[in-house]
Structure 1
Amino acid sequence: MHRVALGARGIAAAMLTVLAAAVAEAAQPTSTNEEAACTLDGGARHTVVRVIDSETVLLDDHREVRLIGALAPRSPDLSPSAEAWPPEDAAIAALRAMVQGKSVSLATSGRAQDRYGRRLAHLFFDRDGERVWVQGEMLLAGNARAYGLPGSYACMRELMAHERAAREAGSGIWGNAAYGVRSARAVGDLMRRRNSYEIVTGKVAKVTATKARTYVNFGADWRRDFTAGIEQKVLRDHPEWAKTIAALEGRRVEVRGWIQYRNGPYIDIEDPSQLVPADETLPGRTMPPSEAMTSSGRRETDETEKQKRPAPTTAPGALDL
């Protein structure tokens, strides 16, 4: 079995053209998130016979493969009469244009399958003599958001760097309010988005450690306000990162994950990539006061919208094969 390495040392000339006006500044690893170079286990080549949806393909050996690391958009309307959702249609079209009927190479790391039995893998294909990373292309075009699953958080630094380039350019879903970065203060808005994957930004009010979890609280009332929680096992698995959590008090951070209800809106942190200081990330589009309502219905402002951040200076992590 050969190894496929992804790094942040360079970027292909073709991508430089695309990213001339939209590059990201966080392709470098930091001691805070303890991320090493991304290395995947390469597998056999197969042909994609059908694109099932915006993140799943069917191979010629009848296996279904889910593109781990790139969460494509789905319609918020789950009713049987729901109409087509343009962001989802755009993602399906982009994926189909890249891989439909083409030979692809699979690369994996960690967890092999999702709960539906689909293979979790990164896909690569050849284009004009260049090896192209499918997940990277989906993120770069704004057709997906970076994410992971328990046991499958490999290459998050590179995935998030590609996402950040799209956010900077306002490409794809990043120009759509449905995928805007949410304010941690907009408790009511977050509660209405339970069971959805969101990126939330806000200033940490207090960090509290218990025997079971460490809680990162974003308000004075932990029974109501937004909170991120980290199980002790996650902290033990990332000891250097764990040492930095208490120092987040008073800092603005960005949290990504699935909104749950646990004494108010809550995100479970399973990997350091889900909790990052905001000055190490790209702000994206935080929902304006007119769209972010508290649980009492009162509109609130968010200082994030007023802050101006320097333009990014480096390109996202590229393929280093």
Structure 2
Amino acid sequence: MSGGRFAIGDDEYMLSDVMAPPLYVLGDDAPAHFEQSRAALQRLLATDFELEDSLPPTRWGVRPVMAKVTGADETLQELLTAEGAVRIAPQTDDHDFIRRLLMLEKQARTARVGLWALAEYRIFDAAQAGGAIGAFNLIEGTVLRAEKHGSRFYLNFGSDFREDFTVSAASRLYSRWARDGLDLGSLTGSRIRARGHVEAINGPSIDLKHPLQIERLD
């Protein structure tokens, strides 16, 4: 297991809305801070704790959950975020909870605690986003153009869409988020932070699945 996944008997669970250094990576070496994040979770799980399903199980049967130490006010997600054992990977519809996690992440990042002290988990500038390909990363930059093409809406961070960093979302999500107050089309000229798995699709690219994968920095 990892710093965000654990098993009880034959059942496997994952903490929703956070991302620990992953267990499954290419190569023989565990990613940076993997053992420390796993130890942080195991320390919390050594006490009595409570689980609540937060999303349907994944296709592999893993159950995303909210977890709390019995009698505590803070969730395991909040405790792990505060000590820099995980990063925020928005999944659920509990936006207030995710925003609390983002604030805790910001505090941990500013204090350079846990994984935030390591170069492997730095925030990439959009101009150097090629170095972020192949993993979950945070990338900051100014949106040059925001526009719809076909069935997707794109935020372009450079003049060459075939090479520069791009963030995109399915048009159905764009339309839904616009009704809820996040109009991606209004972000031209805005400095933002995007988070997600960075793929090589006409340059480095993040496919948005959740509106809080985007944070406005201006």
Q: So what's the TM-score if we normalise by structure 1?
A: 0.62
Q: What residue is the counterpart of 2:67 in the other structure?
A: 123
Q: Name stretches of at least 5 consecutive residues in structure 1 with no aligned partner.
A: 1-51, 280-321
Q: Confirm or deny: 8 A CA contact 2:144 2:158 kept in the other structure.
A: yes
Change (3 A) 1:64 1:254: same
SS at match of 2:33: helix
Root mean square deviation, CA, Å: 2.1
Q: Is 1:63 paired with 2:11?
A: yes
Displacement of 1:209 in angstroms is 1.3
Q: Confirm or deny: 8 A CA contact 1:203 1:218 kept in the other structure.
A: yes
Q: Confirm or deny: 8 A CA contact 2:36 2:85 kept in the other structure.
A: yes
Distance in 2 (CA, whole Å) between partners of 1:243 and 1:122 is: 26
Q: What residue is the counterpart of 1:134 in the other structure?
A: 76
Q: Confirm or deny: 8 A CA contact 2:174 2:184 kept in the other structure.
A: no
Q: What residue is the counterpart of 2:100 in the other structure?
A: 158
SS at match of 1:167: helix
Alignment of 1:245-284 (within 5 A): 245-279=184-218
Q: What residue is the counterpart of 1:90 in the other structure?
A: 36
Q: What residue is the counterpart of 1:108 in the other structure?
A: 53
Q: What residue is the counterpart of 1:188 in the other structure?
A: 130
Distance in 2 (CA, whole Å) between partners of 1:169 and 1:75 is: 26
Q: What residue is the counterpart of 1:216 in the other structure?
A: 155
Distance in 2 (CA, whole Å) between partners of 1:107 and 1:141 is: 22
How many aligned positions are there? 216
Displacement of 1:117 in angstroms is 0.9
Q: Name stretches of at least 5 consecutive residues in structure 2 with no aligned partner.
A: none
SS at match of 1:236: helix
Structure with greater helix percent: 2
Q: Is 1:232 paired with 2:171?
A: yes
Q: Confirm or deny: 8 A CA contact 1:223 1:263 kept in the other structure.
A: yes
Change (3 A) 1:132 1:187: closer
How many percent identity over aligned positions? 25
Change (3 A) 1:228 1:241: farther
Change (3 A) 1:212 1:156: same
CA-to-aligned-CA distance 1:235-272 (integer Å, 9 cap, x gap): 23223456632221111111111111221111011111
Q: Confirm or deny: 8 A CA contact 2:145 2:188 kept in the other structure.
A: yes
